[in-house]
Copies of this chain bind each other. A is one copy, B any other.
Amino acid sequence: MNDEPRWLTAEEQLVWRSYIEAATLLEDHLDRQLQRDAGMPHVYYGLLVKLAESPRRRLRMTELAKYAKITRSRLSHAVARLEKNGWVRREDCPSDKRGQFAILTDEGYEVLRRTAPGHVNAVRQAVFDRLTPEQQKSLGEIMRIVAEGLQPSEAGADLPWLR
């Protein structure tokens, strides 16, 4: 056992600071853009997108939460809000009485159709237009690795000491 913490090197610190700054500024920027143009924060927009991509434009709450990487609680509140806007509606799951579907309404789809171009544009301007193809590829790989490391233990991947 070694109690001495492994501090970040000077280079690592610079990398970490850049990451924090960019992530903060970017999320802020997109939140504002979407709040202004679509009347909702970035996360909520992401929820509508996931629904739009799903068969019959619907998803079980837990599934949606999993895809969006947010807690069920957070999702419940979010869907309640989106429901008030008329962009999502809920429906009971026939096969499991505990279950709920979140369903994208036509109105919700319309909002997406109207605001997607502006959002894509914002993302392009902030990220893709500034990076070389190699950097884009690299970013993808890096973030995929980080994301995988943080997934709440997937099937079979957990409890490895019990094998």
Contact = CB atoms under 8 A, between A and B. Distances in A.
Interface of A: 5-8, 11-12, 14-16, 18-29, 46, 68-70, 116-117, 120-121, 123-128, 130-131, 135-147, 149-151
Given A12-B136, A117-B5, A27 B19 contact: no
A58 B15 CA distance: 24
A138 B136 contact: no
Contact of A15 (B5, B8, B24, B136): B136
Given A15-B143, A25-B150, 15 more contacts: A5-B116, A6-B120, A8-B123, A11-B136, A11-B140, A15-B137, A21-B69, A22-B147, A23-B27, A26-B150, A29-B150, A125-B149, A126-B146, A131-B145, A138-B138
Contacts of A21: 69, 143, 147
A121 B15 contact: no
Tell me the number of copies of this protein: 2
A160 B46 CA distance: 34
A59 to B, nearest CB: 16
Contact of A25 (B69, B123, B126): B69
Contacts of A27: 23
Q: Which 5 A-B pairs have the closest CB atoms?
A: A5-B117, A15-B140, A22-B143, A22-B147, A25-B150
A15 B29 CA distance: 19
B143 A135 contact: no
A130 B147 contact: no
30 contacts: A5-B117, A5-B120, A6-B121, A6-B124, A8-B124, A11-B137, A11-B140, A15-B136, A16-B123, A16-B127, A18-B139, A18-B144, A19-B127, A20-B46, A21-B143, A21-B147, A22-B143, A22-B146, A22-B147, A24-B68, A24-B69, A24-B70, A25-B147, A25-B151, A26-B150, A28-B69, A29-B150, A126-B149, A130-B149, A131-B146
